[in-house]
Chain A
Amino acid sequence: QSVLTQPPSASGTPGQRVTISCSGSSSNIGSNAVNWYQQVPGTAPKLLIYSNNQRPSGVPDRFSDSKSGTSASLAISGLQSEDEADYFCAAWDDSLNGWVFGGGTKLTVL
């Protein structure tokens, strides 16, 4: 059981905009930055978004995030076939004094 809650799956067609939610609490998302990771099956995770909608070099601006209260969302616009992957959210938890992850969302591009 993950501390952060994500839907297990999401899907969209090429060109569409999809969002993936991540729900937490006041001790994690409510008081700390949310980070998002992309993991193509069989490979290591890759940092996608950090600290309030910042993207590492090389990550296209089709990826963005938002946060409201104790929930966050990752948005992918102009969906492409190569976006098919698992997506994880993470945040520091002040109560647990550690990092917590969501269970992951498998994105399928139809």
Chain B
Amino acid sequence: EVQLVESGGGLVQPGGSLRLSCTASGFTFSSNWMYWVRQVPGKGLVWVSHINSDGSNTNYAGSVEGRFTISRDNAKNTLYLQMNSLRAEDTAVYYCVRSAYGTFAYWGQGTLVIVSS
């Protein structure tokens, strides 16, 4: 069974940093592209970033480009999202998602990030 468990969310002040982690199990992590998708509670879904299977290719939404960095450790079956210069508008639930069928196929339960003073 595919399992994706996010951690690292919490309350951070504007301008601060946070690193999210996503531990994967139940599939060959090193063979799959991975995504981060966020959602303000009660609002829509927003793609944040993705990374290819070996970590050599990454892509970011314009709203986070230059502030967020996606990375992975295939030996640890773990996906990361380093978030710097956080803003109030980054407040959201962050989902770790495994790619399959060319899209967002398997979703973790999410971790809540709150940016507030």
Contacts and interface: CB of A to CB of B under 8 A. Distances in A.
B105 interface: yes
A110 B71 CA distance: 45
B61 A98 contact: yes
A2 B107 CA distance: 21
Interface in B54-113: 59-62, 95, 101-110
A54 B101 contact: yes
B46 interface: yes
Contact of B104 (A43, A45, A102, A104): A45
Interface string B35-62: 1000000011111001000000001111
A12 to B, nearest CB: 22
A9 interface: no
DSSP majority for the B interface?
strand
Nearest to A32: B102
Nearest to A46: B107
Nearest to A35: B103
B104 A47 contact: yes
Contacts of A33: 102-103
A87 B59 CA distance: 25
Nearest to A4: B44
Contacts of A35: 103-104
A101 B105 contact: no
B44 A88 contact: yes
Interface of B: 35, 43-47, 50, 59-62, 95, 101-110
